[in-house]
Structure 1
């Protein structure tokens, strides 16, 4: 049985092209042509990945992501012709997993989809393998089994990627990680030098866990090298 993909794209020629290619690759594809229709399909069925255009009629892509992320960690891969850092930052901050710029090759799209589904499967499988699930770092109480982070008694909502980045550091407290190593650990994929993905997730994580994100104490920057967990 092939993996199920929800494709939300209002350009019907792009939608048809992507759908035909993915079906040939063995995926089961449901297509929606606006944000509202996309959410309707999503709520009726279960999908292994959502492929989403940002510029959609009726309900734009950011709103679709917010609704999906209210109670679901399904991988979301954004397709957009707007290739600016601001767009990427907003999109990834809302809880998207990856971003591909239009125009894209079908080979690259298929590789990104496979990687996203593989990461999600590995992420969910890793839950049962945690041997020491509860850890304390400074004011943070981290439960690796339940993906929860509590700071000074308050629950902090992290996306799956933000949580995985934090997990890398707290389970390897003395180790320095380069951006490439973080990407390999969290995305389970080769690093192609796109620092923006790491930078956005790291900034969002720091905004949530640090008292002062500009002067972080939990995840320290070692300039020119990488990052390291602070000492407590």
Structure 2
């Protein structure tokens, strides 16, 4: 039995039943809601560990629900929606969603996204009682946040201040898709010269320094038109 409770918000009965059955088979505890109003009430009262959310609900748009939840909780939110346009994905992720899965989807992919989210929660829980929160290790990559140093295969690599900020932001959100707009605001705030094209340039130079093969990135995954995600290499991640 998985220790995490998942709240499913889906108005389509067939899809809701499919997701619920899958979660039950996998040993997850779960609750369901068919519209936004009941979802918000249920989430407030039950405090789930993960939310699976459809955007096209009959009463409240899913992006509005994400915004409301983010005003008081950082619970991971996985969007499962028929909206496949990049703009819809960006809006949901910018509002605070952690991941985005487009319908029709495979159950295997949904479970894979859940496993990534569960690992993130496990990492956060293990760090809550850890005194060493300044070190990030993912495969052969190591980041010492306090010292401002980055290592690959135990060898220090030189990163510019902006490259280090970019890498650190992705590492602190490992497994989560970060949109271009989110990254730009977090790293450069209102600095107008830095736009999406500039971000791509910084990403290209960063990848040359940390990726064994830049044509097949190992650490940083591109979501075309949306943003980037730091991939989790193995279960030894800290």
TM-score (norm 1): 0.67
Distance 2:112 2:126 in 1: 21
Deviations 1:60-116 (Å, cap 9, x if unpaired)?
111111111112111100011111110111110011100101011111101101111
Q: 1:78-93 alignment to 2 at 5 Å?
A: 78-93=79-94
Distance 1:207 1:181 in 2: 14
Distance 1:213 1:23 in 2: 49
Q: Residue 226 of structure 1: which of 206, 215, 232 is its match?
A: 206
CA contact (8 A) 2:145 2:168 kept: no
Q: Give the SS at the match of 1:222.
A: helix
CA contact (8 A) 2:94 2:181 kept: no
CA contact (8 A) 2:7 2:43 kept: yes
1:22 paired residue number: 23
The change in CA–CA distance for 1:213 and 1:49 in structure 2 (over 3 A counts) is farther
Q: 1:1-232 alignment to 2 at 5 Å?
A: 1-2=1-2, 3-129=4-130, 171-172=148-149, 174-175=158-159, 176=163, 186-188=173-175, 197-198=177-178, 200=179, 202-210=180-188, 211-215=190-194, 221-222=201-202, 224-226=204-206
Deviations 1:30-70 (Å, cap 9, x if unpaired)?
11000111001101112110000011111111111111111
Q: Give the SS at the match of 1:118.
A: helix
CA contact (8 A) 2:184 2:194 kept: no
Specify every segment of 5 or more residues in structure 2 that has no aligned partner in the other structure, as ranges.
136-143, 151-157, 210-238
CA contact (8 A) 1:7 1:15 kept: yes
The change in CA–CA distance for 1:73 and 1:54 in structure 2 (over 3 A counts) is same
CA contact (8 A) 1:52 1:76 kept: yes
TM-score (norm 2): 0.65
Give the C-alpha shift of residue 25 in structure 1: 0.3
Residue-pair matches, total: 185
Distance 1:11 1:103 in 2: 12
Q: Give the SS at the match of 1:215.
A: coil
Distance 2:19 2:39 in 1: 16
CA contact (8 A) 1:8 1:33 kept: yes
